[in-house]
Amino acid sequence: MKVLVTGGAGYIGSTVVSELVKAGDEVIVLDNLFQGHEDAVDANATFVKADLADKAALETIFETHRPDAIMHFASYTLVGESWEKPFLYLRDNVVNALNLLETAVAFDCKKFILSSTANLFDEPERIPIAPEERIVPGSPYGESKYLIERLLHWMERVYGMNYAALRYFNACGAASDTLGEDHAPETHIIPLVLEVALGQREKITIFGDDYDTPDGTCVRDYIHVLDLAQAHILALRSLDGGSKVYNLGNGKGFSVKEVIETAREITGHPIPAEIGARRPGDPATLVADSEKLKRELGWEPKYPSLHDIISSAWAWHVKNPSGYEK
Ligand code: UDP
């Protein structure tokens, strides 16, 4: 299948691109390289540097490549930043998705996979969190993803588009020692902890230890990026069966303290940690119920162990201590 991957030079997008190429799909990557890294794009994919705000560029890409399907990763993705710059998230994420959808419809491309988020579930009534859980976006970022899910709902009703929205929990780990996580600025716990182990940071600050969890620190569902990638590919292959939303996680929760302790075991570094204030907007526990995905698509996580996830990330960080070339 010919697949257009927006944000295919980013952390999750580039991993999915590489897995699609391995599976024999023809891949076109669209990325503005604002956060992405051209070095992360598989050499067998076609790379186009373009911005989704540029509708003419989008039309040229569709005209030239005529994709059968779209995987949409390109977006602003930081919960905290979205509180400071709500218009960037509520306008750009949504308008860019509209540009993409309008062009897709014009070129009769009606298969769409959306990278959505667990930030739709700010006040879960039940843990683990199933896709049917009440939607309460936790930030302008979460709301922007929910708005795109709603756009897809209407694309299906009006144009017969088939879509899957995958709401992921905490993506982490590295697909190989050439594909890893390199954000600027880095805000995610696993790469930050590993930067301490590499001597690039002095210590890690734990954002609160007074949550209602077994050790007082937040519990998250850490899912290996390769397991995420497989879910995208399975969802793409199943799209003829109708549109779906799935929650996508490992199904197991680990606390911030457990993450740090596991990283200490793997790296052999003491990783000094201090307790800081809570980070606004952090729920105590987020763990996914991915049963629908397992049942309907036959997905199973291959790397559910936190030890394996952090080990893969560590191998990448050791090999690429400064990340991708800037
Ligand atoms: N966290 C932390 N210190 C940091 C960064 C993150 O204690 O320097 C905690 C954060 O409060 C959350 C967990 O680690 O409970 C995962 O945060 P991350 O930013 O990696 O992902 P998020 O859950 O926000 O998607």
Query: With 90 as the cut, is the pLDDT of residue 135 above it?
Result: yes
- Binding site membership of 278 for ligand 1 (Cβ less than 6 Å): no
Q: What is the mean pLDDT of residues 293-312?
A: 96
- Binding site membership of 218 for ligand 1 (Cβ less than 6 Å): yes
Q: Which residues fall within 8 angstroms of residue 149, CB to CB, at 6 or more apart?
A: 114, 116, 165, 245
- Binding site membership of 189 for ligand 1 (Cβ less than 6 Å): yes
Q: What is the mean pLDDT of residues 38-47?
A: 97
Question: What is the residue with the minimal CA distance to atom 6 of ligand 1?
Answer: 189
Query: What average pLDDT is seen over the chain?
Result: 96
Query: What's the token pair of residue 244?
Result: 């779906």
Rounded to the nearest angstrom, the distance between the alpha carbon of 280 and the centre of ligand 1 is 11
| Identity of the highest mean pLDDT range in 74-83, 236-245, 259-268 | 259-268
Rounded to the nearest angstrom, the distance between the alpha carbon of 266 and the centre of ligand 1 is 19
Could you tell me which residue, 84 or 243, shows the higher pLDDT?
Answer: 84
Lowest mean pLDDT: which of 146-150, 180-184, 311-315? 180-184
| Residues identified as active-site | 141
Rounded to the nearest angstrom, the distance between the alpha carbon of 151 and the centre of ligand 1 is 29
Query: What's the token pair of residue 319?
Result: 């090999």
- Binding site membership of 207 for ligand 1 (Cβ less than 6 Å): yes
- Binding site membership of 200 for ligand 1 (Cβ less than 6 Å): no
Rounded to the nearest angstrom, the distance between the alpha carbon of 75 and the centre of ligand 1 is 20
Q: Which domains does the chain have, with CATH numbers?
A: 2-171+222-248 (3.40.50.720), 173-221+251-319 (3.90.25.10)
**Nearest atom, ligand 1, residue 217 CA:** 15
Question: What is the residue with the minimal CA distance to atom 21 of ligand 1?
Answer: 188
Q: Is the pTM of this model over 0.75?
A: yes
- Binding site membership of 201 for ligand 1 (Cβ less than 6 Å): no
pLDDT score, position 260: 98
Q: What is the mean pLDDT of residues 157-176?
A: 96
Q: What is the mean pLDDT of residues 259-269?
A: 98
Judge contact between 310 and 259, C-beta under 8 A.
yes
pLDDT score, position 326: 63
Q: Which residues fall within 8 angstroms of residue 169, CB to CB, at 6 or more apart?
A: 118, 220, 221, 222, 223, 247, 248, 249, 250, 286, 287, 288
Rounded to the nearest angstrom, the distance between the alpha carbon of 29 and the centre of ligand 1 is 29
- Residue in 4, 59, 54, 2 with CA at minimum distance from that of residue 32: 54
* pLDDT tens digit sequence for 76-124: 999 989 999 999 999 999 999 999 999 999 999 999 999 999 999 999 9
- Residue in 211, 215, 323 with CA at minimum distance from that of residue 261: 215
Q: What is the mean pLDDT of residues 113-141?
A: 96
Question: What is the residue with the minimal CA distance to atom 1 of ligand 1?
Answer: 189
Cis peptide before 185 (omega within 30 of 0): yes
